[in-house]
């Protein structure tokens, strides 16, 4: 059996809650959470942050309506599908409304062990959630979309999740359905953790690059995870850490070698072949999941990589209540609403994109 820290790093990889094994889960938050976030954190929160969150976005950050009569944060089950948007892809999600999209639609892709509702989780500093931040900037339900690309059973077993054709196809199909519904030729994509690499895998499909305007990667394992080296490239107990399958190049985990997409010229270099703008947000040395391969969240330099910013603070513990001692892997997502808004609504570049943010933000 792996030691506890190695277990959690591996199992929590790229958006996983720090719980992977049932025993580990009970030691982290003292209970077994059957919620959509697979019980990441202590207390009653089904999300990945300390405190009582009622699972979505309770409290003052109610957010805008996504469906008739339903508010983000007050409607049981989280943000909803509405306005006749009924995608075939995935296991639920949100988006659609009685409006016509005038902005480039945004598609949010969650990480491992999560579901789409995680984007309505409030920031740790009391600021609005990512979705509420965009709503305050004028985005409407017909311009904000999210898909749950893992089933409930998969969310509860993050150790077994890996990249494959089926998961890439869920995201690819959802992107196509959003374009068709909004009648916009392009979308913006915001992805966290394993959702980053699942989304990049999806973009390998025919005509997908042309349908992308901007792509934001938050704490993604673009260069694999060095912690997987001790697990091995083909450990049946941890497909998450696997190398590329010898039988199917579209089946792979986060092993940093023998794995083309995680090596030089792979996902990290993808901006060089796509005519879109790319951005990344990372927690740097404060990322309790990616480190010691802390730089795995970075794209290779390219003219269309507009900003790569470090928002990490403190020394979050893989065995603690998510990022309660700082801003690490998970709060890099939930605390970055303003930064994401700057990426997608302005022409900022580099450190200039930090304007209006609180806390650490630097290249």
Chain mean position to CA 152: 17
Q: 42 pLDDT exceeds 90?
A: no
DSSP one-letter code for 8: H
Domain regions of the chain by residue span: 4-354
Q: 165 pLDDT exceeds 60?
A: yes
Sign of CA dihedral 78, 79, 84, 88: negative
Residue % of the chain over a pLDDT of 70: 77
- The region that residue 337 occupies, defined by phi over 0 for left and psi between -120 and 50 for alpha, beta otherwise, is alpha
pLDDT tens digits along 202-245: 999 888 999 999 999 999 999 999 999 999 999 999 999 999 99
Other Cβ atoms less than 10 A from the Cβ of 321: the count is 20
Write the DSSP string, 282-335.
Answer: E-GGG-TTTTTSGGGGPPPP-TTEEEEEE--EE---TTSSTTTTEE-TTHHHHT
Question: Could you tell me if 105 and 141 are in contact, meaning their C-beta atoms sit under 8 angstroms apart?
Answer: no
Mean pLDDT in the chain?
A: 82
pLDDT tens digits along 251-301: 999 999 999 999 999 999 999 999 999 999 999 999 999 999 999 999 999
| pLDDT on residue 16 | 35
| pLDDT on residue 319 | 54
Distance CA 15, CA 328 (A): 11
Q: 183 pLDDT exceeds 90?
A: yes
Distance CA 227, CA 225 (A): 5
| Choices 3.40.50.1820, 3.90.550.10, 3.40.50.1010, 3.50.50.60: CATH for 4-354 | 3.40.50.1820
Per-residue pLDDT band for 67 (boundaries 50, 70, 90) equals very low
Task: Write out the two tokens for 103.
Answer: 């902005």
Distance CA 337, CA 311 (A): 12
Distance CA 328, CA 213 (A): 27
Distance CA 149, CA 202 (A): 12
Question: 3-state class of 213 per DSSP?
Answer: strand
Task: Give backbone dihedrals phi and psi of 142, rounded to 5 degrees, phi first.
Answer: -80, 5
Task: Write out the two tokens for 332.
Answer: 């890099």
Distance CA 216, CA 231 (A): 29
Residue carrying structure tokens 């999300």: 47
Distance CA 331, CA 13 (A): 15
């Amino acid at each position: 059996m792996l030691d506890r820290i190695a277990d959690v790093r591996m199992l929590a990889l790229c958006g996983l809650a720090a719980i992977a094994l049932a025993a580990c889960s009970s030691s982290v938050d003292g209970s077994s959470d059957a919620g959509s976030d697979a019980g990441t954190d202590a207390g009653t929160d089904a999300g990945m942050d300390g405190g009582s969150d009622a699972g979505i976005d309770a409290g003052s950050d109610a957010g805008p309506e996504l469906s008739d009569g339903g508010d983000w944060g007050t409607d049981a089950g989280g943000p909803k599908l509405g306005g006749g948007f009924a995608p075939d892809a995935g296991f639920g999600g949100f988006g659609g409304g009685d409006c016509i999209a005038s902005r480039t639609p945004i598609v949010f892709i969650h990480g491992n062990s999560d579901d789409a509702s995680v984007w309505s989780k409030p920031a740790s500093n009391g600021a609005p959630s990512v979705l509420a931040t965009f709503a305050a900037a004028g985005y409407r339900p017909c311009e904000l979309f999210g898909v749950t690309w893992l089933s409930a059973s998969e969310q509860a077993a993050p150790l077994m999740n890996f990249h494959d054709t089926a998961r890439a196809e869920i995201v690819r199909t959802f992107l196509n359905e959003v374009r068709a519904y909004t009648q916009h030729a392009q979308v913006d994509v915001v992805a966290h953790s394993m959702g980053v690499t699942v989304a990049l895998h999806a973009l390998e499909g025919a005509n997908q690059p042309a349908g992308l305007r901007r792509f934001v990667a938050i704490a993604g394992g673009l260069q694999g995870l060095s912690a997987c080296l001790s697990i091995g490239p083909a450990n049946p107990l941890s497909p998450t850490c696997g190398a590329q399958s010898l039988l199917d190049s579209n089946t792979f985990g986060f092993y940093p070698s023998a794995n083309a997409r995680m090596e030089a010229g792979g996902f990290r270099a993808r901006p060089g072949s796509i005519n879109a703008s790319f951005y990344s947000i990372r927690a740097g040395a404060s990322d309790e999941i990616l480190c010691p391969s802390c730089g795995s969240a970075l794209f290779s330099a390219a003219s269309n990589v507009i900003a790569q910013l470090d928002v990490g603070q403190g020394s979050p513990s893989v065995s603690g209540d998510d990022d309660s001692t700082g801003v690490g892997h998970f709060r890099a997502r939930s605390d970055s609403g303003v930064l994401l808004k700057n990426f997608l609504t302005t022409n900022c570049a580099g450190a200039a994109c930090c304007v209006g943010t609180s806390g650490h933000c630097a290249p």
